Amino acid sequence: MIRGWCPTAWRPMAAGDGLLVRVRPKLGRLTREQVTGLCEAAIAHGNGQIDATNRANLQIRGVDAWEPLIEKLCDLGLVDRDPVAEARRAILVAPDWRTGDDTHRIATELMQRLSELPDLPGKVGFAIDAGDTPVLHAAPADFRIERGADGDLILRAEGRETGARIAGGEVDALIGLAHWFVDTGGADVGRMARHDAVLPMIATIRPRAPITETAYQAGTAHGLPFGRIDAAALAAFMRTSGATAIRVTPWRTLIVEGGAPGVMLGREDSATVRVDACVGAPACPQASVATRDLAIRLAPHVVGRLHVSGCAKGCARSAPADVVLTGNAGRFDLGFVARAGDLPALAGLDAPAVLAHFGAA
Closest CA to 174 of 222, 126, 102, 217: 126
Pick 121 or 341: Cβ nearer ligand SF4? 341
Distance CA 225, CA 296 (A): 9
CB of 251 to ligand SF4, least distance (A): 18
Stretch of residues binding ligand SF4 (CB under 6 A), selected from 93-101, 122-130, 242-250, 312-320:
312-320
Which one among 314, 335, 341, 344 touches ligand SF4, defined by CB under 6 A? 314
Q: Where are the beta strands (DSSP E) in 82-169?
A: 91-93, 126-129, 143-147, 153-157, 164-165
CB of 228 to ligand SF4, least distance (A): 13
Pick 265 or 294: Cβ nearer ligand SF4? 294
Instruction: List the x/- string, 158-197, binding to ligand SF4 by CB under 6 A.
Output: ----------------------------------------
Which one among 207, 310, 335, 344 touches ligand SF4, defined by CB under 6 A? 310
Size of residue set near ligand SF4 by CB under 6 A: 12
CB of 33 closer than 8 Å to CB of 76: yes
> Residue 311, interface with ligand SF4 (CB under 6 A)?
yes
The DSSP output letter for 6 is: -
Which one among 286, 322, 347, 360 touches ligand SF4, defined by CB under 6 A? 286
Stretch of residues binding ligand SF4 (CB under 6 A), selected from 142-150, 179-187, 199-207, 310-318:
310-318
> Residue 309, interface with ligand SF4 (CB under 6 A)?
yes
CB of 257 to ligand SF4, least distance (A): 30
CA 183 remoteness from chain centre: 27
CB of 311 to ligand SF4, least distance (A): 3
Pick 278 or 302: Cβ nearer ligand SF4? 278
CA 275 remoteness from chain centre: 14
**Interior angle at CA 286, CA 282 and CA 289, nearest 5:** 50
CB of 119 closer than 8 Å to CB of 127: no
CB of 312 to ligand SF4, least distance (A): 7
Pick 184 or 286: Cβ nearer ligand SF4? 286
CB of 340 to ligand SF4, least distance (A): 7
Stretch of residues binding ligand SF4 (CB under 6 A), selected from 22-30, 95-103, 303-311, 348-356:
303-311
Distance CA 275, CA 264 (A): 19
Residue ranges of the alpha helices (H) in 19-123?
32-45, 66-75, 83-88, 102-112
Pick 50 or 245: Cβ nearer ligand SF4? 50
Which one among 41, 246, 287, 349 touches ligand SF4, defined by CB under 6 A? 287
**In the bound complex, which residue of the shown chain has the CB atom lying closest to ligand SF4?**
310
Instruction: List the x/- string, 245-284, binding to ligand SF4 by CB under 6 A.
Output: ---------------------------------xxx---x
Cβ contacts of residue 243 below 8 Å, gap of 6+?
A: 32, 35, 237, 256, 257, 258, 259
Distance CA 217, CA 255 (A): 10
| CA 76 to each of CA 56, 81, 97, 341: distance values in angstroms, whole numbers, following the listed order | 18, 11, 22, 38
Residue ranges of the alpha helices (H) in the chain?
32-45, 66-75, 83-88, 102-112, 170-183, 186-189, 231-240, 292-298, 351-357
CB of 115 closer than 8 Å to CB of 78: no
CB of 314 to ligand SF4, least distance (A): 5
Which one among 313, 318, 333, 349 touches ligand SF4, defined by CB under 6 A? 313
Strand, coil or helix: 87: helix
CB of 275 closer than 8 Å to CB of 316: no
Query: Given the rule CB under 6 A, which residues bind ligand SF4?
Result: 278-280, 284, 286-287, 309-311, 313-315
